[in-house]
Amino acid sequence: MNKPVDSKLVARAVEHIDRDRLVKLVIDLTNIASPTGFEGDMARAYHDVLAGAGFRATLQPIGDERYNAIGRLPGKGGGKSLMFNGHLDTSFGPEQAHRGIGYRCEGTLVDDEWIYGMGSFNMKSALATYVTAVEAIRKAGIDLGGDVVIAGVAGEIEKSPVNEYDGRQYQGYGVGTKYAITHGAVADACILGEPTNMMLIPRHCGTTWLKITVPGHLIHTAWSQVERNAINRSRVVLDALHEWIPEYCKRNAVGDFQPRVNVAAIEGGWPWRGARTPDNCNIYLDVRTIPEVLPVQVYDEVRALIAGLVAQHEHLQGTTVDIYVSAPGTSIPDEHELIRTIVKAHSEQLGKPPQRGIETWYSDAAHMNRYGIPTVNYGSAGRIRTGGGGFSTHQGEHVHIGDMVDIIKVYIQCILTLCGVA
């Protein structure tokens, strides 16, 4: 591990954190609509922010007017490089604005303490904290030994093309990060500031998306038969899945943590043509896997379950199982230098060590780790204004300004420790 950084240098940089700059930057970025597939304007704006902060900034085109914004601040030599990664795309777009200020693509300051707006939580606030941390170090007149890399990436949100749902708005699950790290955005380690509410997340689940197709008989209602209707037939499959889900989750528990399974969609028939029976019924599953379990194992397990049902129920003959998302989970060892650096910085800056956990959601950390860039999730967003942590469906996306300032202090110490001072 690198030698401890001079606490006076850290304090000097912390004194140069510009809260007003941070607030304006979060609001400005939140004001830019950037749903998955339409990140162009956001990428160009963030590219300008990186260039203005002294980074050697580039726009990486990944197709369809989509870009990554990559910045590298070269060090003087002799230190390690540290990357901060964050996605440019938001969970929803302007079509959700009717839900309230937390869903609008408008940054709204409330009580000079909270910022509301689509993307503020996930994860434009993190993109702003990265830049603010580096700017504080530069304003303090501190030269770094190693490089700092910031990667603002497109297409992270958990989406996938399937059936007729095709096009850039469905191209998520890490397309930007996978392009970035194979086209020059590399470093010795990476902090990914997903909204963890200041928790350190060195492990998160993988996910396997499955499509189960139950065949039926297309015919007019006048000649229909209940037992030949694909939707009715699928009830047997759904019953079996709901028996299997709790058993699967319990069997794959890690201590008190259990993965989850979601019956995400059921598709069959045509609501505009009620006089016909569906020729098939599709059931879509999202099966979360602990890092030690691979997607092929889940695929085989569900196929075996369905094969057993087909053997028992003749009317299920022809039922198929297809896998259309395969994303393994990830983890890095608790004793890794990156984790020890974050724990020490968090403890010294905030007075106590961070909580640690494993998460059900998926992040680009999985891709980074597979390409040899040790990565953890650790971000400030995730505190709910009315109490508690996580995400409030009622209030929508919002972040606490004080929490962002706190994590910037930690980021500063991590940068000075890992990159070193020239």
**Residue 1 confidence (pLDDT):** 53
Look at the chain and report how many structural domains it folds into.
2
**Mind listing the pLDDT tens digit for each residue in 183-232?**
999 999 999 999 999 999 999 999 999 999 999 999 999 999 999 999 99
Buried b (16+ CB within 10 A) or exposed e, 343-360: bbbbeebeeeebebebbe
Average pLDDT on 85-111 reads 97
**Mind listing the pLDDT tens digit for each residue in 33-71?**
999 999 999 999 999 999 999 999 999 999 999 999 999
Q: Name 164's Cβ contacts closer than 8 Å, sequence gap at least 6.
A: none
**Residue 400 confidence (pLDDT):** 98
**Residue 3 confidence (pLDDT):** 72
**Residue 293 confidence (pLDDT):** 97
**Mind listing the pLDDT tens digit for each residue in 308-360?**
999 999 999 999 999 999 999 999 999 999 999 999 999 999 999 999 999 99
Residue 71 CA from chain centroid, whole number: 20
Q: Which of 296, 327, 358 is the last residue of a domain?
A: 327
Q: Are 408 and 132 in contact (CB under 8 A)?
A: yes
pTM: 0.95
Q: Which of 301, 327, 353 is the last residue of a domain?
A: 327
For residues 236 and 157, state if they share a domain: no
For residues 223 and 199, state if they share a domain: no
Measured in degrees and rounded to the nearest 5, phi and psi for residue 389 equal: -125, 170
DSSP-derived secondary structure for 90-130: BSS-GGGGGG-GGGSSS-EEETTTEEESTTIIIIIHHHHHH
**Residue 2 confidence (pLDDT):** 64
For residues 111 and 247, state if they share a domain: no
Residue range of the domain that includes 84:
7-204+330-419
CA distance 322 to 331: 27
For residues 22 and 95, state if they share a domain: yes
For residues 162 and 212, state if they share a domain: no
Average pLDDT on 400-415 reads 98
**Mind listing the pLDDT tens digit for each residue in 365-404?**
999 999 999 999 999 999 999 999 999 999 999 999 999 9
For residues 103 and 251, state if they share a domain: no
For residues 286 and 301, state if they share a domain: yes
**Residue 4 confidence (pLDDT):** 82
